[in-house]
Chains A and B, each alone.
Chain A
């Protein structure tokens, strides 16, 4: 009837993307931005969000040109081998990024909740649960986040607003001083975390004349929403910690949650409870990439069997585990990943769609 048709509603798309973008951005960006730009990091966020919106418009143009979702286009619109190559590249990108997400996620959980537990065990649990979530298809994932949206967002915003009490204006006074090179780097950093937008090409939209218009409209709201959340969080973090202290903290937003004091004795320290915010948002991002890793493998497989095969789920899952564990074991892998993400992933996501449209097969 209306379940399991590969489509998700616009409300689900909006909420899913807010989770995908907001979680990792609020967790990882502030210390790096504070290091690069200090108080002027707010411009980097605004510019990065703007760049994300422009990228989205560009993707909208690509969608219109393709006239269908990217998976169908790669099967029918371009040379078979080129299509397969792009599937493989997207699969590798998805697995690598999912591995990095799993690494960050495991780090956060170990650091904040289960310090004495083994890293490998936590990672294994996270990856196994992510695989279970992916096995339910994109719809079931979207439904989880549709339900959880306000349960996550309202406490987060409430906690951030409560932190205003300890805000020090002196820490944000230098907002007018900025270095354009660092601002550029900061903007790129913000944009890097908006790259999951690329996967909007795979969303199945209505077969309208202007294909993808609704998808772009919906996701642009998610980008703006996440941008505002990130901006507000950054200003509050800056005002609470100061730029240099912010840069020295591992997960400043979690630290902030542990310092917020409410009147009375009941809500003393909410950091453990508030970790649910990043638990769900990071799971959203991990699931997004693992989902596309699995899906690309499915697209590359022969089409006889419709249902997802066990090995199609298992192989990317194991790969994600190995990537995350390798990053944990050796920092050089982390640097390699960051190098790939900074110099390889973004050009790929920008150039390849346009290239595919240019070399499309003539009907």
Chain B
């Protein structure tokens, strides 16, 4: 009997820890933004996604945002002009690790137009943009991810070019690339 006493005590300690309880959010109590847009307005950076409106009106309730499936991070063109704000944003994202590092990043001229467009397409905006960007990736260089931006923030060894998209009523158009180290344009070579 003595032989088992030690193992039994350890198992009891482990089992009693189960009583501590768990703190998890049920799947149905989460929402999964597929796209997050970083807006720059009145000197402030804010994050917008498909649930922002519901959040503002209280419709979202206690639902928690789960960014694990975030597909695309869209930066507003104006943000890139504010170098310090842009870097502060990257700093914050590196620290909080809020968004997955393999999220694609692109730039658009107007974020409001982008969310308006969602009403006219059959799928969610994140998946739509991801597929759109991937199609271009097949033709040209590798697309940049949030991880690339964060790495380059530290390394400062390369100039990164983010895809620049123009939002129309119910589609987006690839316009070219934007240099992240300042707003310098490069015309698209792809049609």
Q: Enumerate chain A interface residues (CB-CB to B < 8 A).
A: 116-118, 121, 124-125, 128-129, 131-132, 135, 166, 168, 170-171, 240-245, 247-248, 255, 258-261, 268-269, 307-308, 310, 313
Contacts and interface: CB of A to CB of B under 8 A. Distances in A.
B5 A310 contact: yes
Contacts, number: 71
B17 interface: yes
Contact of A132 (B7, B23, B142, B152): B7
B155 interface: yes
Contacts of A243: 155
A269 B7 CA distance: 37
B50 interface: no
Nearest to A308: B6
Contacts of B145: 259
Contacts of B102: 258-261, 269
B176 interface: no
B147 A170 contact: no
A185 to B, nearest CB: 21
A30 to B, nearest CB: 14
B13 interface: yes
A245 B17 contact: no
B147 A259 contact: yes
Interface in B2-47: 3, 5-7, 9-11, 13-14, 17, 20, 23-24
CB-CB nearest 7 A-B residue pairs = A242-B155, A245-B154, A245-B151, A244-B154, A310-B6, A259-B102, A132-B10
Contact of B10 (A128, A166, A245, A248): A128
Report, as a range, how many residues of chain B touch the other chain.
Answer: 20 to 34
A124 B17 contact: yes
15 contacts: A125-B17, A128-B10, A128-B13, A128-B17, A132-B10, A135-B7, A135-B10, A170-B158, A241-B151, A243-B155, A245-B155, A259-B101, A259-B145, A269-B100, A310-B9
A328 B102 CA distance: 31
Interface in B117-156: 142, 145, 147, 150-156
B157 interface: yes
Given A171-B155, A242-B155, A258 B100 contact: yes
Contacts of B151: 240-242, 245
B154 A116 contact: no
A310 B1 CA distance: 13
B138 to A, nearest CB: 12
Interface of B: 3, 5-7, 9-11, 13-14, 17, 20, 23-24, 68-69, 94, 100-102, 142, 145, 147, 150-158
A6 B154 CA distance: 50
B65 to A, nearest CB: 15
Nearest to A313: B6
Interface centre among A242, A243, A308 (most CB of B within 10 A): A242
Secondary structure of the B contact surface, majority rule = helix
Nearest to B20: A121
A304 to B, nearest CB: 14
A131 B155 contact: no
B141 to A, nearest CB: 12
B48 to A, nearest CB: 23
Given A118-B20, A166-B142, A242 B157 contact: yes
Nearest to A311: B6
Contact of A269 (B23, B24, B68): B68
A170 B10 contact: no
A187 B151 CA distance: 25
B93 to A, nearest CB: 13
Contacts of A131: 10
A128 B152 CA distance: 42
A21 to B, nearest CB: 28
A154 B10 CA distance: 33
A306 B102 CA distance: 55
A116 B22 CA distance: 9
B68 A248 contact: no
A117 B23 contact: yes
A125 B14 contact: yes
Contacts of A310: 5-6, 9
B147 A116 contact: no
A245 B6 CA distance: 47
